[in-house]
Chains A and B, each alone.
Chain A
């Protein structure tokens, strides 16, 4: 008889705790493989940066790999690598997160390092200077992509003052001017237990894990944080157009509308609008890809009708009202204006009548499938515990499918009318300097 490994149910809910110093803890046991994914989330991102200091959060993230008074950066990297695990970090507008996915036996190593670099990072001046060129190089790599350049303009136009208008990497000017003291002050202010959350998913003993977290994080102090909290911008104030000329022999379009913050009940209807318009976004950051968008309205109208070469949408769950952005690559035999005209017709339709129940049911099935795919791997499950907690709480993710199922076709019409007003959007066009007539 064929013998398979024992696979236990992993559908149990995570458990949440809080240490005396304010550190939040989420534990989710998944006993399918001897692996654990260990995350440390900080409630700090480019959203909390002020003009002239953009890029601080991301640069601090880089410096966290450069060593503490107890461990060199290389020692930390190599110790994690030796376990066979992998480590990385992300900086977003709303948060900064560090993670390791590694054999369960190495959990203590992960917690020890994360607790240490929460308070002991060196920010060695020489390392700061080396990293300045690395980050400038990271930005230069992005600048090679015309969609990045256009995206930066569109985001700036989508907000008056809110820091979501800034690229997480920071502006080139700020990256040149930021000092070691700026970085260290940012680190000392925001990196502390009461602004952090440890999330573990995988195979571990819950009591042992709690003991380890208490051992390494329990005595770390929390102190008052000087916050820079931006004022929400509920709407894009007017129809705005931005243009860019470049050497690419193709035209690109980005169109951005305001989206509700993730904790707004309208976010769920908006998610289904995205699915209907440009296809569903994947919930899986670390596994296999998502669902296609060939049955979406925009694919049918723009791609099948041979106006554009590609169309995709992007909607993220965020603390403050965000943006839903369409990314379109025009075909050479049609101008951006042709594409935008057709796109306007599709959006108008969204504003004039609700989708059919069948269309809504398809979007719901897709959401259910995406939710299932999101539990495909342990790293993604740990990610969602922290991510959902950054803008709401875990129930947001747990109830995701149910909340979507409660959306009616009338809700779709109402939310479309609220957010997809053509007088409140940004239209960005990257135009080929060569004229882009390639028929």
Chain B
């Protein structure tokens, strides 16, 4: 029974979320938490690793790391001394489709940090010595990753799942491509793709939204880059031709990591919500859903075993992952396949459906407990072009989803003959 009511006004909506777009095509979103002495911010520019040129995999990621190694106004030491001496942080990273920046500061320092953020994004110096340092650090990371069963299983999954699609490549790139990246490559990348067009910044914390929007406008409106290019559109993902299996041998490891997956719906569509409820039953609810019950609770095969429904503007995966003793790998695969088969053979029970609907509703205010949680939600609204009242409308959407809807969607996305099974650990 779906009797739980959510106090709609307690959730962020069109009357409490501030959103403003500016002539230079930046967007600012804010939600107040006026008791907080701090401000958390997060945003993105729509350029990521899919724009890495051929043979330069890892360029977007390295660029993100290089942005904070110095600007035209401040060298590395000066920059980080300013940021850290006020107890603030600014972090940058690149995903497949975007370069993400985030951080936090005391509210008294927000203006200073916002100015530095623009400086970092718009005026990088790309010092050669820091490029060499970061390339060496990445070389170490690649060597460590090669012995990391979780990372190796994940990369094997992406190789098999995406094949010719740009997402097949790790966002960090490869050791042999990262070492060829030069400051000229970075400058060209920055020149082509960095500018205000498509920049989104969301904030939450102890600042008045309109005052912070005014501050954002004052600082960011000066950024004009008429020649800024738009990232090219992604090619379509090609369906799996058959069941694909890859195991990466990693010697001397006590545990093997396993990922089994299929395609997920794109964006936060209504079908995504249907699959999200189904996924919750499959591998999340309680102690990791049906998968956790079968693999961990009943069989004791794994410490973790659950499922994840990724969300993105491009193709993304619906995955089941487990960490198991190498001797139990085949048994864990069998148990998981049994559960997938059950998931597409019969509708979920009414009590399971009721459970996950109640959970989804109850979790709405809890997911917004922190400034960071609120900001992530604001960015989702923008990224997936959702109504500002999305959360307030969600209960009605959830209420309308039936067990048959979940079965129909489960069958659309899970095909026992077209799965990727990737693992890493002791040689098979």
- Segment 351-391 of B: residues with Cβ below 8 Å from A: 355, 358-366, 368-372
Determine the chain A residues whose CB is within 8 A of the CB of B343 once the complex forms: none
Q: Are B80 and A7 in contact (CB under 8 A)?
A: no
- The CA of A430 and the CA of B228, in the complex, are separated in Å by 47
Q: Are A84 and B77 in contact (CB under 8 A)?
A: no
- Segment 69-121 of B: residues with Cβ below 8 Å from A: 76-77, 80-81, 83-89, 91, 102, 104-106
- The CA of A9 and the CA of B148, in the complex, are separated in Å by 46
A408 interfacial contact with B, CB 8 Å: no
Q: Are B87 and A84 in contact (CB under 8 A)?
A: no
Q: Which of B18, B36, B360 has the most CB of A within 10 A?
A: B36
Determine the chain B residues whose CB is within 8 A of the CB of A131 once the complex forms: 300
Give chain A nearest CB distance to B364 CB in angstroms.
7
Determine the chain A residues whose CB is within 8 A of the CB of B38 once the complex forms: 369, 372-373, 376
Determine the chain B residues whose CB is within 8 A of the CB of A246 once the complex forms: 252
- The CA of A365 and the CA of B106, in the complex, are separated in Å by 10
Interface string of A291-312 (1 = CB under 8 A from B): 1111100001001101001100
Q: Are B139 and A295 in contact (CB under 8 A)?
A: no
A102 interfacial contact with B, CB 8 Å: yes
A141 interfacial contact with B, CB 8 Å: yes
- The CA of A294 and the CA of B287, in the complex, are separated in Å by 39
Determine the chain A residues whose CB is within 8 A of the CB of B32 once the complex forms: 4, 7
Question: A140 and B77 in contact (CB under 8 A), knowing A2-B16, A134-B302?
Answer: no
Q: Are B358 and A369 in contact (CB under 8 A)?
A: no
Q: Which of B83, B303, B361, B366 contacts A137 (CB 8 A)?
A: B303
A366 interfacial contact with B, CB 8 Å: yes
Interface string of B311-332 (1 = CB under 8 A from A): 0000000000001110000000
Q: Are A247 and B251 in contact (CB under 8 A)?
A: yes
- The CA of A370 and the CA of B37, in the complex, are separated in Å by 11
Give chain B nearest CB distance to A327 CB in angstroms.
13
B253 interfacial contact with A, CB 8 Å: yes
Interface string of A368-404 (1 = CB under 8 A from B): 1110110111110000000000000000000000000
- The CA of A133 and the CA of B296, in the complex, are separated in Å by 9
A208 interfacial contact with B, CB 8 Å: no
B147 interfacial contact with A, CB 8 Å: yes
A13 interfacial contact with B, CB 8 Å: no
Q: Are A84 and B360 in contact (CB under 8 A)?
A: yes
B211 interfacial contact with A, CB 8 Å: no
Determine the chain A residues whose CB is within 8 A of the CB of B358 once the complex forms: 82-84
Q: Which of B15, B35, B140 contacts A332 (CB 8 A)?
A: B140
- The CA of A304 and the CA of B167, in the complex, are separated in Å by 32
Q: Which of B33, B84, B149, B297 contacts A291 (CB 8 A)?
A: B84
B397 interfacial contact with A, CB 8 Å: no
A411 interfacial contact with B, CB 8 Å: no
Q: Which of B140, B297, B359 contacts A82 (CB 8 A)?
A: B359
Of all chain B residues, the one with the shortest Cβ separation from A10 is: B35
Of all chain A residues, the one with the shortest Cβ separation from B141 is: A309
Q: Are A329 and B140 in contact (CB under 8 A)?
A: yes
B133 interfacial contact with A, CB 8 Å: yes
Question: A366 and B87 in contact (CB under 8 A), knowing A2-B15, A287-B370, A304-B76?
Answer: yes
Q: Are B9 and A5 in contact (CB under 8 A)?
A: yes
Question: A329 and B106 in contact (CB under 8 A), knowing A7-B35, A137-B324?
Answer: no
Determine the chain A residues whose CB is within 8 A of the CB of B18 once the complex forms: 2
Give chain B nearest CB distance to A287 CB in angstroms.
5
A248 interfacial contact with B, CB 8 Å: yes
Q: Are B325 and A140 in contact (CB under 8 A)?
A: yes
Binds B, one of A20-28, A30-38, A173-181, A343-351: A30-38
Determine the chain A residues whose CB is within 8 A of the CB of B88 once the complex forms: 291, 369
Give chain B nearest CB distance to A38 CB in angstroms.
13
Question: A289 and B362 in contact (CB under 8 A), knowing A369-B38, A438-B139?
Answer: no
Question: A377 and B369 in contact (CB under 8 A), knowing A141-B303, A248-B147, A362-B84?
Answer: yes
Q: Are A83 and B143 in contact (CB under 8 A)?
A: no
- The CA of A328 and the CA of B88, in the complex, are separated in Å by 23
B7 interfacial contact with A, CB 8 Å: yes
Of all chain A residues, the one with the shortest Cβ separation from B36 is: A376
Q: Are A85 and B303 in contact (CB under 8 A)?
A: no
Binds B, one of A73-81, A90-98, A110-118: A73-81
B53 interfacial contact with A, CB 8 Å: no
B40 interfacial contact with A, CB 8 Å: yes
B156 interfacial contact with A, CB 8 Å: no
Determine the chain A residues whose CB is within 8 A of the CB of B83 once the complex forms: 292
B294 interfacial contact with A, CB 8 Å: no
Give chain A nearest CB distance to B9 CB in angstroms.
7
B146 interfacial contact with A, CB 8 Å: yes
Q: Are B362 and A77 in contact (CB under 8 A)?
A: no
B254 interfacial contact with A, CB 8 Å: yes
A429 interfacial contact with B, CB 8 Å: no
- Segment 234-281 of B: residues with Cβ below 8 Å from A: 251-255
Give chain B nearest CB distance to A18 CB in angstroms.
29
Give chain A nearest CB distance to B395 CB in angstroms.
12
Give chain B nearest CB distance to A290 CB in angstroms.
7
Q: Are B253 and A144 in contact (CB under 8 A)?
A: yes
- The CA of A300 and the CA of B105, in the complex, are separated in Å by 22
B188 interfacial contact with A, CB 8 Å: no
Of all chain B residues, the one with the shortest Cβ separation from A434 is: B143
Q: Are B137 and A309 in contact (CB under 8 A)?
A: yes
Question: A103 and B285 in contact (CB under 8 A), knowing A309-B140, A329-B140?
Answer: no
Q: Are B361 and A84 in contact (CB under 8 A)?
A: yes
- The CA of A369 and the CA of B206, in the complex, are separated in Å by 13
Determine the chain A residues whose CB is within 8 A of the CB of B428 once the complex forms: none
B229 interfacial contact with A, CB 8 Å: no
- The CA of A287 and the CA of B372, in the complex, are separated in Å by 7
Give chain A nearest CB distance to B255 CB in angstroms.
4
Determine the chain A residues whose CB is within 8 A of the CB of B141 once the complex forms: 309
Question: A379 and B369 in contact (CB under 8 A), knowing A84-B358, A295-B84, A372-B38?
Answer: yes
- The CA of A246 and the CA of B146, in the complex, are separated in Å by 13
A338 interfacial contact with B, CB 8 Å: no
Q: Are A295 and B80 in contact (CB under 8 A)?
A: yes
- The CA of A294 and the CA of B40, in the complex, are separated in Å by 20
B144 interfacial contact with A, CB 8 Å: yes
- The CA of A249 and the CA of B139, in the complex, are separated in Å by 10
Known pairs A86-B366, A306-B133 / 11 extra A-B pairs, C-beta < 8 Å = A7-B33, A74-B286, A84-B358, A134-B303, A135-B303, A143-B255, A310-B137, A365-B86, A366-B85, A368-B106, A372-B36
Residues of B within 8 A of A (CB): 7, 9-10, 15-16, 18, 32-38, 40, 76-77, 80-81, 83-89, 91, 102, 104-106, 132-133, 136-137, 139-141, 143-144, 146-149, 209-210, 251-255, 285-287, 293, 296-304, 323-325, 355, 358-366, 368-372
21 contacting pairs across A/B (C-beta < 8 A)? A7-B34, A35-B365, A35-B366, A65-B287, A73-B297, A102-B362, A102-B366, A130-B298, A135-B303, A140-B323, A140-B325, A248-B143, A248-B147, A250-B144, A287-B370, A293-B84, A294-B76, A295-B77, A306-B136, A331-B137, A373-B104
